[in-house]
Amino acid sequence: MKKILALGCLLFAVATVNGQPYRLWYRQPAVKWTDALPLGNGRIGAMVFGGTTNERIQFNEETLWTGAPRDYNRPGASAYLAPIRKLLSGGKQKEAEELAQTHFMGLKSEEESRDVWLKKVRSGAGIPGNPADPEDDDGTWATMPVPAYEGWESVGYEGLDGAVWFRTTFELPAGWQGKDLILDLNRVRDQDVTYINGVRVGETTGSEPRKYRLPKEALRPGRNLLAIQVLNFFDKGGIGGYKDTSRHIGIYPADVPAGDKLSLNGHWKFRIQDDDPPAVGKYQADYQPFGDLIIRMPDLGNVANYERELTLEDAVSRTRFQAGGVGYLREVFVSQPDQVLAVRLSGDRPGKVSFDAILKSPHEGFSTRKIDDNTLALRVAVRKGALFGESWLRIEANGGRILVTDTSVSVSGADDARLYLTAATNFVDPHDISGKPDRTCARVLGALSGKSWEVLRGRHIREYRAYYDRLTMAFGEETDPKPTDERLARFSESPDPSFMALYLQYGRYLLIAASRPGTQPANLQGIWNELLSPPWGSKYTTNINLEMNYWPAEVLNLPALHEPLFMMINELIINGKETARKYYNARGWVLHHNTDLWRGTAPINASNHGIWVSGAAWLCQHLWEHYLFTGDVVFLREKGYPAMKEAAGFFCDFLVKDPATGRLISTPSNSPENGGLVAGPTMDHQIIRTLFRNTARAAEVLGADDTFRQELLKKEQQLAPNRIGRYGQLQEWLTDLDDTTNRHRHVSHLWGVHPGDDITWHKSPELMRAARQSLTYRGDEGTGWSLAWKINFRARFLEGEHALKLVRLLLRPTSGSGGSYTNLFDAHPPFQIDGNFGGAAGIAEMLLQSHDGAIDLLPALPALLKDGKASGLRARGGFELEYAWKDGRLTTLRVRSLAGQPCRLRYAGQETTFSTEKGKTYELDGALRRR
């Protein structure tokens, strides 16, 4: 046991070399999910809470989603394209949006009729007695906190939908007797029928505020009963009350509007009447949690010297504490080579490891069963969906006793114990759900036979570090090490440059954990989600969020992790071609602003933001960038160019001539997610112009399709150009409609500045100044991912101190807008992982840029980062750089050529260009002189 603990200490020492604490660590267990530490191998994700007597490890498997294979495209949609365009051209935006909402949005999944179910629950079926009757006994009912603005899911009832009765009582004040009262509930989701002392006083469907008159005839001196039947069909059920929690739900006299209110905030009695409502139609599917591994050690006694950590160098979570004279160590990692979540519990005294473990899931009807004397299985099925899955847990121990039943695992008196968990679903691909998850689990665990913990951990670390070790970064040294939550709390006020290096490496860590070759791409929450109804479905939002996830891939030296996105693109092309044909009578492929596991490509949600046509074109930017960073002509020929050509072909057919200017424009579309359905948003034109230009360049590199290449170059010149408006701003739309007071989180019309290169200081300085003016008007504050994007903008404007200001806003404890959670997850809020990836890329953009005709070194370096070194940053043209700087000045530089292209460097007014050979390294000094 002493050897085990010594090894843990050694690994800690490795993680803190050179004064850089590349770890997240805390002095207390996680309380909330966003305190827990994330692990993953691209397919299995885990959140480790680090509990002592009760450890929770919540886990996901990447292919457990709602929904099923189906056609997302609305038949006959193309017949409405011309009328929508005509309405927009005539300035009738509202009418265009109404027509599009009815006839142009994609199809929802099958929705079951509510009539029979509503009749059943309103008749009282499923609940004894009459809950509205004051004499009805609720002595056995449970209690729930009321209100819950984010739904009863947020107060412990995840996955609950259906008919639920609530009851509470209040004492009628003597001065209110003989008066009508007003009951103010504000928001109830989705329907309610409300009673006072058995008398129905109101019924409402929808989101409008509930204010019901309580007639004096129905009120009694003393105690009165309020009973509410809440009918919720999907997500966020219950009595929501006010988002401003200082405002209470309650009762007040009708003759004193909003006067002294008798608060009804508190714990109400509740009883579920029917938790199986009819299915709600949905445009796209939701990513789902799989389950929880719970480990209980109830007899520990007092706990001391607690610490939990995640070390980025080896992707291992550790929890250490002492209890009852024993030093305990719990290690957790998720192995890609062996496809398991691995847990080891050990103590520094023999025979002191005893615990019980269970598997559970938020999915209704989950079950567990014993497989053999060392294995417990969990089976889950998605409600009203096509997918199901199994997770198998295998237990091994040195010494002691193992007992496995159909419901739990017990280990007693062991020296140490190892738990290996794997999971799988019946998903094969977007068109095939014939997988056998039990066979997959059996095969994975069977392959562990004969492998020791040390072997498994070694295989995990070697595979992981093959990615992680490709880049090192240091910004000074942390002279006063503190727990991560404390560093987060003080970063916006105190100098802590090494915290930025940690955050950058954490972004790389999260991408490695969420996106390995052969897996699904990272979604809105990477690979981590605990909710059955996650925010925005935890799917793939393609009007920035999915793309932002992969901004770090090339520059931060993780090009192989781009592969899942490229795999998705190949699958999206199939459905995207159908959508292009059925909606736009066009060749090629199109993708609107969201997609999911089933690769839906039709427009979804509301027409004022869901009809956005540039998703495919933006994704193709990643294909071209991969070629620019690697010089991989084979990739360009086989994967990049075919997808780019098809996307460009769509726009060749889709674009129309603007009658006012004669220019080609994109219509209908929108500037995400701002301003409604329009003709000719600036962002579209920037993306399309860049797609045409890049596809033409790719054709030239490959010596292919010269006629098509010439067509693209011609249309590129015909596209509506970027325009400068009356406030000196870059216009967001064809007409000069920008509002200088608009603080919208999207800054879509600056796409050409970043991540595109349509607008740069060397190509169009006047447009750069206009873009900077637009960003100034938009303001610094924003949601997490918006802050991350603004870091990249300010870096490209060469404004290092302003970029640092935004980094400080991103790296602050989460509040009403932006920031980071305790575990450094990005806060929209709620959690979205794109801000982590965009923020990491933004810090890199402060240190290195290569989009504007040369490699610019330290282009936006703030004073806080005056000393530093980086090894492994990559640049377009196929170069890998190692360099250092002191007191804000470049001191040394090494450039390795990956593709044998000419290298052009710029720094501090100096410029040099030299030829390179593939695989050769070149050394220069701080003045860019060759050594």
At 574, list the tokens: 């199939």
Gap between the Cα atoms of 602 and 77, Å rounded: 10
Return the closest-CA partner of residue 511 out of 826, 743, 295, 722.
826
Q: What pLDDT, on a 0 to 100 scale, did the predictor assign at position 20?
A: 56
Summarised one tens digit per residue, pLDDT across range 466-509 is 999 999 999 987 666 899 999 999 998 888 999 999 999 999 99
Contact by Cβ (8 Å): 72, 49: no
Whose tokens are 């804000």? That residue is 888
Please calculate the CA angle 69-72-73 and round it to the nearest 5 degrees.
Answer: 140
Which letter does DSSP use for residue 828 in this model? Answer: S
The confidence score (pLDDT) of residue 480 equals 65
Q: Give the C-alpha separation, 372 to 296, whole Å.
A: 21
**Beta bridge pairs of residue 892:** 884, 925
815 pLDDT band, cuts 50/70/90, is confident
Percent with pLDDT over 70 in the chain: 97
* The CATH fold of domain 115-274: Jelly Rolls (2.60.120)
Please give the backbone phi and psi of residue 399, each rounded to the nearest 5 degrees, phi first: 75, 175
Share of the chain above pLDDT 90, in %: 93
The answer, yes or no, to whether residue 381 has pLDDT greater than 80, is yes
User: Residue 18: its pLDDT value, please?
Assistant: 40
Measured from the Cβ of residue 218, the count of other Cβ atoms closer than 10 Å reads: 17
Q: Specify the pLDDT at position 260.
A: 81
Backbone angles phi, psi at 662, to 5 degrees: 80, 0
3-state secondary structure at position 596: coil
Mean pLDDT of 747-776: 97
CA angle 534, 25, 470 (to 5 degrees): 85
* pLDDT in the model for residue 478: 65
441 touches 424 (CB < 8 A): yes
Residues composing the chain: 931
Q: For residue 74, what pLDDT is reported?
A: 98
Distance of alpha carbon 422 from alpha carbon 440, whole angstroms: 9
Residue 809 has pLDDT above 90, yes or no: yes
Task: Name the amino acid, one letter, at 742.
Answer: N
Q: What count of other Cβ atoms lies within 10 Å of the Cβ of residue 174? A: 8
- The burial class, CB within 10 Å (0-12 / 13-18 / 19+), for 45 is buried
Strands 855-857 and 903-907: parallel
Answer yes or no: is pLDDT of 16 > 80. no
- Segments in 552-640 forming alpha helices (H): 552-555, 563-584, 607-610, 615-630, 633-635
Crossing angle between the packed helical segments 615-630 and 563-584, to the nearest 10 degrees: 150
Beta strands in 658-739 (DSSP E): 664-665, 669-671, 674-678
Handedness of CA 921, 924, 929, 931 (dihedral sign): negative
Top CATH class, 2-67+285-469? mainly beta
In the chain, where the domains are located: 2-67+285-469, 115-274
Residue 927: φ, ψ to 5°: -100, 15
Query: Average pLDDT, stretch 573-587?
Result: 98
Per-residue tokens: 458: 């070694």
Q: Return left, alpha or beta for 878; rule: phi > 0 is left, psi -120 to 50 is alpha, else beta.
A: left
Position 531 pLDDT exceeds 80: yes
What are the DSSP calls for 16-76, one per residue?
Answer: TGGG---EEEESS--SSGGGSEEEE-SSEEEEE---SSEEEEEEEETT-BS--S---PPTT
pLDDT at 15 over 50: no
Confidence of residue 5 (pLDDT cuts 50, 70, 90): very low
Run of H or E including 895? strand 889-897
CA 901 to chain centre: 37
Region 851-865: what's the mean pLDDT? 98
Q: Is the pLDDT of residue 323 over 90?
A: yes
- Segment among 441-450, 490-499, 771-780, 876-885 with least mean pLDDT: 490-499
Asked if pLDDT for residue 402 goes beyond 70, the answer is yes
The per-residue pLDDT for 553 is: 98
Q: What is the mean pLDDT of residues 514-520?
A: 98
Residue 493: what pLDDT? 87
What is the pLDDT, as a whole number, of residue 301?
Answer: 87
Number of neighbours of residue 432 by Cβ within 10 angstroms: 10
Band of the pLDDT at 7, cuts 50, 70, 90? very low
Return d(Cα 208, Cα 869) in angstroms, integer.
56
Distance of CA 29 to the CA centre of its chain: 24
Per-residue confidence band for 21, with pLDDT thresholds at 50, 70 and 90 = low
Q: Give the mean model confidence (pLDDT) for residues 53-64.
A: 98
Output the pLDDT for position 245.
Answer: 87
Distance separating alpha carbons of residues 226 and 269, to the nearest angstrom: 11
Tell me if 905 sits within 8 A of 855, measured CB to CB: yes
pLDDT exceeds cutoff 70 at 233:
yes
- The predicted-structure confidence for 891-912, as pLDDT tens digits, reads as follows 999 999 999 999 999 999 999 9
- Residue 259's pLDDT is what? 65
Cα 794 off chain centre by: 23
Joined together, the tokens standing for residue 768 give 């750069």
Residues 411, 278 contacting (CB under 8 angstroms): no
What is the C-alpha to C-alpha distance for residues 838 and 792, in angstroms, rounded to an integer?
8
Instruction: Find, among 366, 284, 354, 286, the residue nearest to 108 by Cα.
Output: 284
Q: Which residue has the tokens 């009809």?
A: 611
Positive or negative CA dihedral for 383, 385, 386, 390? Answer: negative
The confidence band for 538, taking pLDDT boundaries of 50, 70 and 90, is: very high
